[in-house]
Amino acid sequence: MSADILMPILIVDDYKTMIRIIRNLLKQLGFEDVDEAADGSEALNKMRGRKYGLVISDWNMEPMTGYELLKEVRSDPSLGKTPFIMVTAESKTENVIAAKKAGVNNYIVKPFNAQTLRSKIDAVFAE
């Protein structure tokens, strides 16, 4: 099963430029319905108001990190099944293990291109 290009996607990053980059990559892949949030709490509010097919979140954010957001999402019965991809600048093994334990579906190390994003998204929806 591959990802539905009509599904809404939420990008969570406190860095506007990164949101724009990911939005453009998603557009190249055919995804048009893309929302954004600047931090974890804004993301949670948006997720409680709308059902997203995928969340792509940065790890390093203030005041709520992507990791904390992931744990919140996974502990909320109404959001818990939402596919979640974590974006990180450094592939520190302990981060990856922590994210996996917390229930992340996949993670991407920056910088990345459309092909990498596509393969990560496809891997999530092949599960």
Domain assignments of the chain as residue spans, ordered by start? 9-126
Instruction: Supply angle C-alpha 120, 25, 40, rounded to 5.
Output: 70
Strand 9-12 and strand 54-58: the pairing is parallel
**Residues 34-93: tens digit of each pLDDT:** 999 999 999 999 999 999 999 999 999 988 999 999 999 999 999 999 999 999 887 788
Calpha distance 80→52 (Å, rounded): 11
By CB atoms closer than 10 A (0-12, 13-18, 19+), residue 48 is: exposed
What pTM does this model have? 0.95
CA atoms within 13 Å, Cβ hemisphere of 35: 20
Q: Among 1.10.10.10, 3.40.50.720, 3.40.50.2300, 3.30.30.60, what is the CATH number of 9-126?
A: 3.40.50.2300
